[in-house]
Amino acid sequence: MDKVSYDAVVVGAGLAGLMAAHEIASAGYRVAVLSKVFPTRSHSAAAEGGVAAYIPGNSDPNDSPEYMAYDTIKGGDFLVDQDAAELFSYKSGEIIDLLERWGVLFNRQPDGRIAIRYFGGQTYPRTRFVGDKTGMAMLHTVFEKTSGLGNVDFYFEWFAWELVRDESRVRGVVAFDMRNMTPVFFKAKAVVMAAGGMGMLYKHTTNSYIGTGDGYAMALRAGVSLKDPEFVQFHPTALYPSDNLISEAVRGEGAVLRNAKGERFMARYAPKKLDLAPRDIVSRAIVTEIKEGRGFPGGYVGLDLTHLGEEYIKERLPLAVEAAKNFAGVDATKEMIPVRPAQHYYMGGIDVDITGKNPDLIGLFAAGEVACVSLHGANRLGSNSLLETVVFGRETGKAVVEFLKGYTEPSSDIDKEAEKAVDSAYDVTKSESGIHFGEIHEKLRDVMWDYVGIFRDENGLKTALSEVIKLREEAKKVYVSDKSKVYNTEFYNVLELKNMLDLALVIASAALNRKESRGAHYRLDYPERDDQNWLKHTIAYLRGNSVEITYKPVKITKWKPEARVY
- Distances in Å between the alpha carbon of 53 and those of 17, 57, 156, 242? 20, 12, 31, 31
Contact between residue 246 and residue 303 where contact means Cβ atoms under 8 Å apart: yes
- Distances in Å between the alpha carbon of 563 and those of 345, 538, 551, 560? 24, 22, 23, 10
Nearest to 346 by CA among 146, 123, 105, 510: 510
SS3 state of residue 231: coil
The DSSP call for residue 336 is: P
The span from the CA of 380 to the CA of 73, in Å, is: 9
Nearest to 160 by CA among 186, 128, 199: 186
The span from the CA of 508 to the CA of 499, in Å, is: 15
- Distances in Å between the alpha carbon of 15 and those of 93, 162, 194, 267? 17, 22, 9, 36
Annotated catalytic residue 279: yes
Nearest to 226 by CA among 13, 374, 15: 374
Count Cβ atoms within 10 A of the Cβ of residue 272 and give its class: 0-12 exposed, 13-18 middle, 19 or more buried. exposed
Strand partners, 478: 435
Catalytic entry in 117, 165, 279, 514:
279
The span from the CA of 550 to the CA of 229, in Å, is: 12
Tell me which residues are annotated as active site.
279
